[in-house]
Chains A and B, each alone.
Chain A
Amino acid sequence: QQQVKQSPQSLIVQKGGISIINCAYENTAFDYFPWYQQFPGKGPALLIAIRPDVSEKKEGRFTISFNKSAKQFSLHIMDSQPGDSATYFCAASNNYGQNFVFGPGTRLSVLP
């Protein structure tokens, strides 16, 4: 119930392409879904986050799509750039808990 599943494990995209990473959860109490970006040797950094009262949130080239009934959410990176190459983690938390449950991560490589 506390798990967050994430796919794919790794993703290779050409520069300018669209990167799509999917996550799914079971716990219906989750109500906050952030995405973190992690470069090698660095800590995770919040990229974008969504709450289940909206179905989509866009910030620049990054968009979260949220499907509450399917308990799924995804990250879309438009016009992917080599500088986007990193590991991306989806996560989830609920209002009453005090910890994030992270997905296993997706290693994105954007080829020049």
Chain B
Amino acid sequence: EPEVTQTPSHQVTQMGQEVILRCVPISNHLYFYWYRQILGQKVEFLVSFYNNEISEKSEIFDDQFSVERPDGSNFTLKIRSTKLEDSAMYFCASSTTRFQETQYFGPGTRLLVL
């Protein structure tokens, strides 16, 4: 069964450093998303991406964040200058068409900012 993959599984970084989280969505999916989950808290939407541009973003997704689909398979989330409060599990998800279709989540990247 096809699945969303994410790398790395864990990332430790120093405050102020840039990090790039990588995702490979399911191959025939057209919509891509990033969510985050601070430890023990709910899943929060960050951004959706379709046709090489951001479709919607939440208030969490400020200028420190950016997304890119650099090639036909990868979807990346960049945090330019990490803060302590960026420590969380970051999930990538993808779906075939509209947002309300089943979203398939990846296993997540646990980011720890020291």
Interface residues of A (CB under 8 A from B): 32, 36, 41-46, 49, 89, 91, 93, 95, 97-105
Q: Is B18 on the interface with A (CB-CB < 8 A)?
A: no
Measured CA separation A97–B58 after assembly (Å) = 11
A-B pairs with beta carbons under 8 A, tally? 53
With A43-B91, A105-B42 as contacts: A99 and B99 at CB distance below 8 Å: yes
Partner-contacting stretch, out of B69-77, B78-86, B102-110: B102-110
Q: Which residues of A contact B107 (CB under 8 A)?
A: 41-43
A98–B43 touching, CB < 8 Å: no
The 6 closest A-B pairs by CB, nearest first: A43-B105, A99-B45, A98-B56, A102-B43, A104-B42, A98-B99
Cα-based distance from A42 to B56 in the complex (angstroms)? 25
Instruction: Kindly state the interface size class of chain B when it binds its partner.
Output: 20 to 34
Is A44 a contact of B91 with CB atoms below 8 Å?
yes
Is the Cβ of A93 less than 8 Å from the Cβ of B99? yes
In the complex, A42 Cα to B100 Cα: how many Å?
A: 21
Interface residue? B48 (CB, 8 A): yes
Of the candidates B45, B58, B91, B100, the one having the most CB atoms from chain A within 10 angstroms of its own CB is B100
- A33 CB to closest chain B CB (Å) equals 10
Q: Per a CB cutoff under 8 Å, which of A45, A97, A102 touches B42?
A: A102
Chain A residue at smallest Cβ distance from B48: A98
Closest to A95 in B: B100
Name 6 interchain pairs, CB-CB below 8 A, sorted by A.
Answer: A44-B43, A46-B102, A49-B102, A99-B56, A101-B45, A103-B42
Residue of A with least CB distance to B102 = A46
A70 to B105, CA, bound (A): 30
B20 to chain A, nearest CB (A): 19
Distance, CA A32 to CA B101, complexed state (A): 10
* Bound form: Cα–Cα A47–B5 in Å: 20
Q: Once the chains bind, are B108 and A43 in contact (CB under 8 Å)?
A: yes
B residues near A98, Cβ cutoff 8 Å: 48, 55-56, 99
Which residue of A is nearest B108, CB measured?
A43
Residue from B42, B43, B44 having most chain A Cβ neighbours under 10 A: B43
Contacts of B102 in A (CB 8 A): 46, 49
